[in-house]
Copies of this chain bind each other. A is one copy, B any other.
Amino acid sequence: MPARPSSSTAVRQRRARGSISPKEVVTGAIELCRTETVDGLSMPRLAQHLDVGVTSIYWYFKSKEDLLDALSDEAFTRFYAQMPPLAGRQWDEVLREYFTNFRTILRADPVLCDLVIMRGGRYRDDTLGRTWERIEGILEVLVAAGFTADEATTAYFTLSVYTRGCLFIERNMRTIEDTEGGGHPKAHLAESMPVLSSVIGRYGSNMIGDDDFAAGVENNLRGLRTLLASRKPQRRR
């Protein structure tokens, strides 16, 4: 009785010489992460998923770490491909649009979020270059609006850190809630705390909502606007 090709107990047939490509491994790995999360990815299961010997992967990637770097790079590329071009007439609109898109896209795709945000990852030079181009574009808008190069850079990084911080914390809380039973509000802990009690409805287990994120961005924009105004020619006084 000849072994059926994809039977679970069948002995895998040896792959032909050029039949495995690094691209295929990366794509398959990201595909598999969709089912098993990035942290849960294992070399044996990936090999099985790709219908390849475990050790074959090591021909293209010298370690799991190395493979994960490639995954991050690919994830980053896919992420940036989804980012719409800079939009907005005013500098503050540009920032708002950019970081709102940034968060929306990564929140919608946990695998990209895990690879791009949670994992640092060393990127290839061209990936890095593409990012920097985008950043440069934003900085130039800010400089044109009257900020110094330093102020523009600080502004960008502040909002970037804030946005990535949001994604990080939210992702962290989600994994905790998934493991643990649902989030009890624990409002009783705030019994003797008047201010916290009055807002505890909004901050139950529902992590960082769109409104909260937006409010944080707006506060930063307000700060930047004030900074800019303080150096513009004062009108009266």
Contact = CB atoms under 8 A, between A and B. Distances in A.
Interface of A: 65, 119-122, 125, 128-129, 132-133, 135-136, 139-140, 143, 149-150, 152-155, 157-158, 161-162, 164-166, 168-169, 172-173, 175-176, 179-180, 186, 189-190, 193-196, 198-199, 202-203, 208, 212, 215-216, 218-227
A162 to B, nearest CB: 5
Give the dominant DSSP class at A's interface: helix
B136 A216 contact: no
A189 B134 CA distance: 13
Indicate how many identical chains form the complex.
2
Given A132-B196, A169-B161, A203-B153, A121 B224 contact: no
Most buried by B among A128, A154, A186, A221: A154
A54 B42 CA distance: 25
A9 B154 CA distance: 57
Given A136-B196, A162-B216, A219-B224, 16 more contacts: A121-B176, A125-B186, A125-B189, A129-B189, A136-B190, A139-B195, A140-B194, A150-B199, A158-B219, A161-B162, A161-B169, A161-B216, A162-B165, A165-B166, A165-B168, A219-B223
21 contacts: A65-B179, A120-B173, A120-B175, A121-B176, A122-B180, A125-B189, A132-B189, A135-B196, A136-B194, A140-B195, A150-B202, A153-B199, A157-B203, A157-B208, A158-B212, A162-B165, A164-B169, A165-B168, A165-B169, A219-B220, A221-B223
